[in-house]
Structure formats: C-alpha cells, structure tokens
C-alpha cells in the first residue's frame, strides 16, 4: 500500500510532507476510489441531459463534457485537504464535496454572447451558489463590473484564466433515495478555451519550473485576449455596416446602402455613451475609440431584463470527441 501511495504522489507531484499535512489515510482514499468506480456510470445520464439542453441554445458554439477520472478525484481530494485539513472529505460525503465530478464546457464565439447564455442557465437551473467569473489582472473595471452586475462573484486568476463557472443542481431520481447532483459548467469563448487547453497541457499535473515556458504562456494569454477583442470589433463593424441607411461600398468600390464591403474606421460615428474603447478592458492599445463592450449591459440597461441574484471534455454533437483532463 505504501508503494502505491508513493507512486501516486510522485505521479501527481504531491510531496510526502504535503500529503501528511492533508491528514487522510491511503486506505480511506482507496475506499472512495473503489466506490466511485462502481457508481461513476450513474453520472452519465445527468451529464448528457444537461448537454442536450445547452446544445439547443442559440449562442452556443459547442458543448462538451467529461466524467471525472477516479485518479483525478483522489488527487483533488488530497489537494483540497492540503489547503484545508479540517475539511473532511470521505466516502460519506465526497459526492457532495467534489462539485466537478460532472464537468461541462460551453463555448461561444463572441464575448457578447455570454449574457444570453448566463440568463438561460440561471433561468433553467437552480445554482448551488453564485457563478464565479475568473478574470485577469489588468482587466478594466467596466469589464469586471459587467459580471458583478449580473450576479457573479469575481476572482482574479493568477495565470490569466478567463471563464465563468456555474454549479448546477440536478435531481437524480433513479437512485434508491433521490439525491441532488451538482455539475460544474464552464462558459468561455473559443479563444479563451484554446489558451486554457494549451496552458493546462503545459502545467498539468504540476506547474512548469521553466521561466521561458511561463513567459510564453503569458504572451499567448495576451494574444488570445486580443483575438477576442478583434472578434468583438468585427461584430460591431458588421452591425454598423448592415445598419439600414448607412453608406457602404461593394467590392468594386461602388457606393451602396447597407451590407457593404468596407469603410474606413474614421468614417464611423462611435456612440459616445458606450465608453472609452474596446481596448480599455484588457491589454493593448490598438482600436482606440472603439466602444467599450456592450456585451454585458448592466441589469438596468438591458431592455429592463434583470439577471439573477479541468478536465478535458468528452465532446457532444457540437462537435464530438473524448479526452480526460
């Protein structure tokens, strides 16, 4: 048993000292693992049900899911106990304490799409607690306040990870005693997902000690943020160009009305009430004068609509593949 424990700790880069501080015996962990292996398939119907509902929403680009691997569950229990030794996690309560046994990832194209998804999720499911919006140091106050105004708790992530996490509560009635199953849903853009996947691949299961790798991941994070900003600019320009009565040009340079090919940026009249510029809310200085994101309008500005108070996923139909992270 000691050999198995030592090999496991080495594989997940957990020191013997840290494991000892966690105060949990290896045979207890094996008991949890064996029970989870026997009951893991019970989570599949709940995961698929949630995925099917989310797949039908308009702003969703793709939805994926995974059921947590048994080894990853044990590693997470140890790490949680290291950080909080008094927080008992055992066979009796691990399915309530570990909230990402079902992990679902929802991707959308534009940052502006988040609000529709947020409102749909909060209307459709009861949440265990307020959603958590992970932001990057340096994100503008207006960007962060957009999440606050829609009931999210803000957490600054040390590596620049951006995503909004929800803990959905679903009733499982097939079991002997109906129980509430918690599922973690992560919502982010395609560019945020690309960076997150690469960052996770490099860091997991332990943080790289190489300074160059860490610096390159920071640069990649900035590039992905800039890509999201550019996508928002493109979306804004498309809407402006397609506004009825706005002059435009076709590909031959002939003036037309609406739906045209291109106009120089300085010919647009950016609405002053939207803010100081898209680039104000993250890094960079291109795009000065473009409107600050109107993607998450505060509750009192969104047509009177009011908002509510780690592992690699297995892909669903939008698209489909499988991996464990």
pLDDT tens digit string along 76-125? 999 999 878 778 899 999 998 999 999 999 999 999 999 999 999 999 99
Helix axes 190-203, 211-241, angle to 10 degrees: 170
Residue 11 confidence (pLDDT): 86
Per DSSP, the three-state class of 24 is: coil
63 has a pLDDT exceeding 90: yes
Residue 211 confidence (pLDDT): 83
Displacement of CA 100 from its chain's centroid (Å):
13
pLDDT tens digit string along 220-275? 999 998 899 899 899 889 888 877 766 554 444 444 444 433 343 333 333 333 33
Say what percent of the chain tops pLDDT 70: 72
184 has a pLDDT exceeding 60: yes
Q: How far apart are CA 131 and CA 147, in angstroms?
A: 9
Q: How far apart are CA 283 and CA 140, in angstroms?
A: 9
Residue 216: C-alpha distances to residues 139, 190, 229 (Å): 19, 19, 20
């Amino acid at each position: 048993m000691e050999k198995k424990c030592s090999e496991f700790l080495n594989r997940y880069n957990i020191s013997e000292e840290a494991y000892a501080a966690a105060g949990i015996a290896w045979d207890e962990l094996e008991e949890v693992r064996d029970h989870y292996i026997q009951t893991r398939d019970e989570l599949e119907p709940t995961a698929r049900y949630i995925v099917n509902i989310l797949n039908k929403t308009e702003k969703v680009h793709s939805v994926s899911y995974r059921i947590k691997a048994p080894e990853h569950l044990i590693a997470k229990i140890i790490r949680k106990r290291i950080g909080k030794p008094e927080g008992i996690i055992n066979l009796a309560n691990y399915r309530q304490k570990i909230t990402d046994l079902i992990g679902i990832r929802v991707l959308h194209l534009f940052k502006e799409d988040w609000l529709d998804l947020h409102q749909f999720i909060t209307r459709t499911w009861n949440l265990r607690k307020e959603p958590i919006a992970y932001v990057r140091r340096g994100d503008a106050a207006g960007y962060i306040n957009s999440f606050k105004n829609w009931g999210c708790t803000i957490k600054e992530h040390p590596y620049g990870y951006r995503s909004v996490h929800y803990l959905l509560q679903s009733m499982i009635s097939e079991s002997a005693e109906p129980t509430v199953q918690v599922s973690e849903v992560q919502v982010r853009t395609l560019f945020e997902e690309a960076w997150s996947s690469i960052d996770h691949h490099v860091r997991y299961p332990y943080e790289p000690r190489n300074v160059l790798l860490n610096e390159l991941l920071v640069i990649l994070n900035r590039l992905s943020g800039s890509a999201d900003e550019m996508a928002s600019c493109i979306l804004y320009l498309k809407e402006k160009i397609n506004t009825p009565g706005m002059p435009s040009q076709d590909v031959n340079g002939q003036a037309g009305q609406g739906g045209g090919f291109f106009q120089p940026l300085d010919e647009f009249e950016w609405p002053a009430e939207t803010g100081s510029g898209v680039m104000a809310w993250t890094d960079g200085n291109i795009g000065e004068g473009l409107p600050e994101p109107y993607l998450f309008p505060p509750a009192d500005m969104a047509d009177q609509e009011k908002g509510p108070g780690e592992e690699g996923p297995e892909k669903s139909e939008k698209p489909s593949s499988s991996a464990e992270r």
